[in-house]
A and B are shown apart, each in its own frame.
Chain A
């Protein structure tokens, strides 16, 4: 009896450790609030940017913000399941070149600084996003 309660306590402890010990990238970004901050700063940056604004000129800002936050939440292991249009579908026909894409990454980095995302966390998010480039440029 005593033995089984010890085991039970140990199991509880491990359950707690796995539950709270490993924050997801989403947590490190500051959860929903943090991601919203990044998205807001990014949209502001794009709005003031001559080089890439034209790609977004006809976008619905509210919808864009919502979908970007949704996508970032999914890709950073947050509690979301992105079921919107694929990166390929969204960017088809936009003919985004490499220079403009990389410039947008600079705007994202700047947005993350403004949202107080620490440098290592910025890099971890960039690492998740980098493989998507092939689906976005020259389409």
Chain B
């Protein structure tokens, strides 16, 4: 973890010279747990970082969520090409306290902006994306009856920032439809007996309390392919964006029932560097 933070800072310093800065501060969002630009849980229509149509942005992030019986560490990076294409990589490590066991997963993501700009266009920004996920440690997934140790999610996201909409404060919303067969985002494998891809709804909304602070909530619907009564995920977050190179996010996450353990909630922290 500290190694990664050090790495981010090492990369930021040369990045200061020619960092992408062609968007309004705080409007690109942060990194979600699978590596795409978004809130903490949901991929948004925005592409990662401050690249405008004339720029390239590179971003890196580390995140940690700590629950009653589990924890999830994620680190990753995104490449934003001309605010049209986003490529992302995320490495997840899910720790199961009871078994003292780690489940590691890699997520490769791609996102394309189809239309618009969350701030300036009349209609919401629209993007499509995919996330290819590969479990390095499929033992638990196999034991629970998952069909595969890899899978792909497809999603479409719409997002809009309304300037001065709520008492003069900027208001952002995002809706994402995800076609997925991932169990607990893939950490418990993909599919189940007679269970395949299905559409799930994800939603986020945030208010910017000034140029540098955003508070918001997210909701992520999830399938239940393994018969473990997998719950939908919810979060509430606050993000501090001191400048266009750095964002810090803290949140409360409520993941409900995870792999047979009820009431899994806890805290979430994420640091992102943009250059």
Please give the residue numbers on chain A whose beta carbons come within 8 Å of chain B beta carbons, in ascending order: 97-99, 102-103, 105-106, 109, 118-121, 123-124, 126-127, 130-131, 133-134
Bound CA span A106–B119, Å: 13
Interface hub of A109, A118, A121, A130 (most chain B Cβ within 10 A): A130
Using A109-B211, A127-B163, A127-B164 as known contacts, say yes or no to A99 and B122 having CB atoms under 8 A apart. Answer: no
Contacts of A126 in B (CB 8 A): 163-164
| Residue B52 is within 8 A (CB to CB) of chain A in the complex | yes
Taking the closest CB of chain A, its distance from the CB of B34, in whole angstroms, is 28
A124's partner among B21, B52, B168 (CB-CB below 8 A) is B168
A123's partner among B52, B122, B163 (CB-CB below 8 A) is B163
Contacts of A99 in B (CB 8 A): 21-22, 52-55
A-B contact pairs, 25 of them (CB 8 A): A97-B52, A98-B22, A99-B21, A99-B55, A102-B22, A102-B24, A102-B52, A103-B21, A105-B24, A109-B211, A119-B168, A119-B210, A120-B168, A121-B168, A123-B163, A123-B164, A123-B168, A124-B163, A124-B168, A126-B163, A127-B162, A127-B164, A127-B165, A133-B120, A134-B120
| Residue B197 is within 8 A (CB to CB) of chain A in the complex | no
In the complex, per-residue mask of B134-177: 1 if CB is within 8 Å of any chain A CB, else 0: 00000000000000000000000000001111011110000000
Interface hub of A99, A106, A118 (most chain B Cβ within 10 A): A99
Closest 6 CB pairs of A and B: A120-B168, A123-B164, A99-B22, A127-B163, A98-B52, A99-B52
| Residue B23 is within 8 A (CB to CB) of chain A in the complex | yes
Contacts of B169 in A (CB 8 A): 119-120, 123
Bound CA span A22–B169, Å: 19
Contacts of A120 in B (CB 8 A): 164, 167-169
Select from chain B the residue with minimum beta-carbon distance to A120: B168
Chain B interface residue count, CB cutoff 8 Å, equals 23
Bound CA span A124–B21, Å: 23
Select from chain A the residue with minimum beta-carbon distance to B27: A102
Residues A98 and B168 in contact, CB atoms below 8 Å apart: no
Taking the closest CB of chain B, its distance from the CB of A85, in whole angstroms, is 21
Using A99-B55, A126-B163, A130-B120 as known contacts, say yes or no to A106 and B168 having CB atoms under 8 A apart. Answer: no
Contacts of B25 in A (CB 8 A): 106
Bound CA span A6–B141, Å: 80
Select from chain A the residue with minimum beta-carbon distance to B20: A99
Bound CA span A106–B26, Å: 12
Taking the closest CB of chain A, its distance from the CB of B200, in whole angstroms, is 32
Bound CA span A121–B53, Å: 28
Bound CA span A133–B122, Å: 11
Taking the closest CB of chain B, its distance from the CB of A97, in whole angstroms, is 5
Residues A97 and B164 in contact, CB atoms below 8 Å apart: no
Contacts of A134 in B (CB 8 A): 120
Residues A98 and B164 in contact, CB atoms below 8 Å apart: no
Contacts of A131 in B (CB 8 A): 120, 122
Contacts of B168 in A (CB 8 A): 118-121, 123-124
Residues B23 and A102 in contact, CB atoms below 8 Å apart: yes
Contacts of A102 in B (CB 8 A): 22-24, 52
Bound CA span A125–B55, Å: 27
Interface hub of B21, B55, B168, B210 (most chain A Cβ within 10 A): B168
Residues A130 and B119 in contact, CB atoms below 8 Å apart: yes
Bound CA span A105–B52, Å: 13
Bound CA span A121–B163, Å: 10
Interface hub of B55, B167, B211 (most chain A Cβ within 10 A): B211
Contacts of B162 in A (CB 8 A): 127
Taking the closest CB of chain A, its distance from the CB of B21, in whole angstroms, is 7
Bound CA span A2–B108, Å: 80
